[in-house]
């Protein structure tokens, strides 16, 4: 088991300025979907990390990888905001600093929907479109929403969970699942990620 940060039950204030360490996590990289002069707020805040995005981006440590059969999970708090944008996990990351970047990603959003997509360079084909599921805790009003996302990479199928419930399962087939594991966060979201855990 590779645990980057222990899971914990937390109560956070929404303002990122309450972060204690206020330093970008060592060895982590950020890649935006498109070249931009904008930035993101991404700091270590025990337990885990606090992220506030402008543009969409992936967040990853190049040394955090998984191959074969494994499970990756993350506990994520979404803070109040107007944007109905996706956030979650990616697996199978390759060439993440190059033009041929590739990864599979699993996102949820505040209205209780999830999506599974693939990035191949500039193309982002959809595997499972935005779909509502009751297991996803919705964010509304001034309340934060906590969800635990998991991807189980089995010998024949990939199974996607939210809060311990299966939301979808797809054939592994020719999907590339070996590579870097990390986080994907779309536009203008305010999150706290307490953990990123890989179980082999």
Q: Do 46 and 109 fall into the same domain?
A: no
76 located within any domain: yes
Q: What is the pLDDT of residue 185?
A: 98
**What's residue 10's pLDDT?**
46
Whether 50 and 119 share a structural domain: no
Regarding whether 74 and 28 lie in a shared domain, the answer is no
Nearest to residue 149, comparing CAs of 157, 138, 160? 160
**Distances from the Cα of 5 to the Cα of 30, 151, 198, angstroms:** 19, 17, 11
Is the domain of 77 the same as that of 49? no
Determine, yes or no, domain membership for 4.
no
Residues 142 and 161 in one domain: yes
CA 115/CA 35 separation, integer angstroms: 24
Q: Edge-to-edge strands of the sheet including 57-66?
A: 29-32, 57-66, 179-185, 87-94, 102-108, 113-120, 126-132
Is residue 47 situated within a structural domain?
Answer: yes
Do 72 and 114 fall within a single domain? Answer: yes
Q: Judge whether 149 lies within some domain.
A: yes
- Return the biggest CA–CA distance within the chain: 44
Are residue 151 and residue 78 in the same domain, yes or no? yes
Cβ(170)–Cβ(127) below 8 Å? yes
The CA distance from 112 to 135, in Å, is: 8
Residue 42 pairs in a beta bridge with 51
Does the residue 138 lie in any domain? yes
Q: Answer yes or no: do 44 and 132 share one domain.
A: no
To which residue do tokens 């509304």 refer?
140
**Which pLDDT belongs to residue 161?**
98
Which pLDDT score is estimated for 127?
97
72 in the same domain as 165: yes
Domain that holds residue 46: 24-32+40-55
> Is 128 a member of any domain?
yes
Task: List the pLDDT tens digit at each of the 200 positions of the chain.
Answer: 444 433 333 444 444 444 446 799 999 999 999 887 677 899 999 999 999 999 999 999 999 999 999 999 999 999 999 899 999 999 999 999 999 999 999 999 999 999 999 999 999 999 999 999 999 999 999 999 999 999 999 999 999 999 999 999 999 999 999 999 999 999 999 999 999 999 99
Residues 114 and 133 in one domain: yes
Q: Does residue 145 sit in the same domain as residue 164?
A: yes
Looking at the 3D structure of the chain, how many domains does it have? 2
- Note whether 47 and 193 are within 8 A (CB): no
* Residue 111 is assigned to a structural domain of this protein: yes
Question: Are 150 and 74 found together in one domain?
Answer: yes
Beta bridge partner(s), residue 199: 71
In a domain, 196, yes or no: no
Q: What single-letter DSSP state applies at residue 80?
A: P
pTM: 0.90
């Amino acid at each position: 088991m590779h645990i980057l940060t222990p899971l914990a039950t937390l109560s956070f204030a929404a303002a990122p300025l309450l972060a204690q360490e206020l330093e970008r996590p060592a060895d982590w990289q950020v890649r935006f979907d498109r070249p931009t002069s904008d930035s993101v707020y991404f700091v270590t805040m025990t337990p885990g990390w606090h992220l506030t995005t402008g543009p969409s981006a992936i967040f990853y440590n190049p040394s955090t990888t998984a191959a074969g059969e494994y499970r990756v999970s993350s506990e994520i708090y979404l803070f109040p905001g107007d944007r109905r944008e996706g956030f979650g996990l990616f697996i199978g990351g390759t060439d993440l600093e190059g033009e041929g970047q590739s990864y599979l990603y699993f996102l949820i959003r505040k209205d209780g929907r999830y999506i599974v997509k693939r990035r191949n360079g500039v193309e982002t084909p959809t595997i499972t479109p935005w779909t509502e599921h009751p297991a996803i805790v919705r964010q509304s009003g001034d309340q934060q929403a906590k969800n635990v996302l998991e991807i189980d990479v089995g010998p024949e199928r990939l199974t996607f969970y939210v809060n311990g419930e299966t939301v979808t399962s797809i054939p592994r087939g020719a999907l590339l699942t070996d590579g870097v594991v990390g986080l994907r966060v779309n536009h203008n979201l305010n999150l706290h990620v307490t953990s990123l855990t890989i179980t082999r």
